[in-house]
Structure 1
Amino acid sequence: MRFKDKVVLVLGGNSGMGLASAQAFAAEGARVHLTGRNQQTIDAAVAAIPGSTGYAADIADPAATERVVQQVEQTDGRIDVLYINAGVGGFAPLEAITEQDWDFVHAINLRGCVFALQKAVRIMGEGGAVVVTGSIGAHGPLEGNGTYAAAKAGLAMAMKVFAKELLPRKIRLNMVSPGPIDTPLLHRNPGMGPEDVEKLKEMMIQNIPMHRMGTSDEVAKAVLFLASDDASFITGADLLVDGGLIELG
């Protein structure tokens, strides 16, 4: 029970890796708060996690995140663990990128995450831990991935800076960068239909040294490790959970 009596906030905890992590935190004794944009999936997540609380909030709106932080503060007084997982995909080659798509992806994957961290650390104390979902997209070029990769690469460097800034407060900040994980996000890429998604999955599997896609539960295990005292001497790290794709591919 590594998180007994810990207050955990999972931003983007209503599906995929966020939901798997929220469930795992709760199973290890945490008091879980989670957010999402879809009330139906939020309600389902809360129903599946005893004692949890859900909030409808778009991470692209810093004011919405601030309201969630205020509600957590009123309920539990603090945040011990923050997992910033909210994100969206966006595949398009250079010629097809629109300003609207670029701004949409960056508002969530970069800008929203940065301001979510700013809002939440206000009620975090010494010994607090932050985990942020990055991506192997920040580590290697993939055709059509420019918009998403730019946002995640910017996020990776920003979080390294913030990890250093948080050292005097004894708050650790690490990233987990998943590779090809079969989550609902994969099926919500703007401009991609079901056939496009299947072709993308096949292409990724062919390039993964382990010859399979990862699962949300496998990412959750990495998230909980980085958030726990097992990783007490780790900060500023970016843990690749990618079946060896970046290092061995």
Structure 2
Amino acid sequence: MTKFNNKLAIVTGGNSGIGYATAKELISEGAKVIITGRRKEAIEKAAEELGAIPFVADQANLNDIDSLKKEIENQYGKVDILFINAGITGGLISIENMDVENFDNVMNINFRGAYFTLSTFIPLLNEGASIVFLSSIVASTYKPNSSVYQASKAALNSIAKTAAAELAPKKIRVNMVSPGPTKTEIMNKAGLDEATLSGLTDYLINEIPLKKMGTAEDVAKLVVYLSDHTIASFITGTEIIVDGGMVL
């Protein structure tokens, strides 16, 4: 028997990076996993590779969230693990030069979408269920040209703690995992060229006490740990940092 036999998990943004690695880890432990993503081809390809169930949904689109909820309610019933992972960094833009489109794109996915994914799925969560938000160490850092991304993650941490207090009577736990620099595709999506990306990677590694980047698998294993009610039943409202000591 594996630890998540007969458990249903949802992973938003599950077609790549940390979401993909977490879905893989959950499946290896016996869970039935539904992964979501915005691009039909990418999410179906990932689901086939993983042995997951694909659902095309944009976390920023509240109608998509409602459709996902109805489909799961009709097909599967209750949910045991909810990993709210989907997110974007947006452009590296100063506050002075910030445009409304970039602000809205980041906030609609990272905060508004995450908030209403949580809100929508609460009625489907079993007693003893686990909710994990993918946050970031940027929630408590204040680097130039990253104001919106940082603010979106700080807001996410705030609602996660409130949710932990609200859902405790139902024995539903809510936690946050905050990675530091991690080898995923998200930085490529920020629009950086190869030379800039390579220079940034070298800089970050030099800033990390353990002198290496984290991996998606490092984060996935922690999400799975927090999702296990038998070993993490007394952990809620907690932010766990996975950053190689960067914020020491």
What is aligned with 1:96?
Answer: 97
Secondary structure (helix, strand or coil) at the match of 1:64 reads helix
What is aligned with 1:194?
Answer: 194
CA change 1:133–1:234 in 2 (3 A) is same
Q: Which amino acid aligns with 2:173?
A: R
The structural deviation recorded for 1:96 is 2.8
Identity of aligned residues (%): 38
Tell me the alpha carbon deviations over residues 156-196 of structure 1, each in whole angstroms, 9 at most, x when there is no partner.
Answer: 1111111111111111000100110010111101x533333
Mapping of residues 130-169 of structure 1, within 5 Å = 130-169=131-170
What is aligned with 1:129?
Answer: 130
The structural deviation recorded for 1:211 is 0.8
Which structure has the highest strand share of the two? 2
Q: How many residues align?
A: 245
The structural deviation recorded for 1:93 is 2.1
TM-score normalized by the length of structure 2: 0.96
Say whether residues 1:81 and 2:81 are aligned partners.
Answer: yes
What is aligned with 1:70?
Answer: 70
Unaligned residue ranges in structure 1 (runs of 5+): none
Secondary structure (helix, strand or coil) at the match of 1:240 reads strand
What is aligned with 1:22?
Answer: 23
Secondary structure (helix, strand or coil) at the match of 2:89 reads coil
Q: Which amino acid aligns with 1:179?
A: G
Q: Distance in 2 between matches of 1:36 and 1:183?
A: 16
The structural deviation recorded for 1:198 is 2.1
Tell me the alpha carbon deviations over residues 125-158 of structure 1, each in whole angstroms, 9 at most, x when there is no partner.
Answer: 2111100100000022222211100110011111
Q: Distance in 1 between matches of 2:74 and 2:24?
A: 23
Q: Which amino acid aligns with 1:210?
A: L
Q: Distance in 2 between matches of 1:228 and 1:222?
A: 10
What is aligned with 1:40?
Answer: 41
Tell me the alpha carbon deviations over residues 36-74 of structure 1, each in whole angstroms, 9 at most, x when there is no partner.
Answer: 112222112111122x21011100011101111211111
Q: Which amino acid aligns with 1:55?
A: F
What is aligned with 2:214?
Answer: 214
Q: Distance in 2 between matches of 1:239 and 1:179?
A: 11
RMSD over aligned Cα, in angstroms? 1.1
Q: Which amino acid aligns with 2:211?
A: H
Secondary structure (helix, strand or coil) at the match of 1:184 reads coil
The structural deviation recorded for 1:94 is 2.3
The structural deviation recorded for 1:199 is 2.3
Unaligned residue ranges in structure 2 (runs of 5+): none
What is aligned with 1:244?
Answer: 245
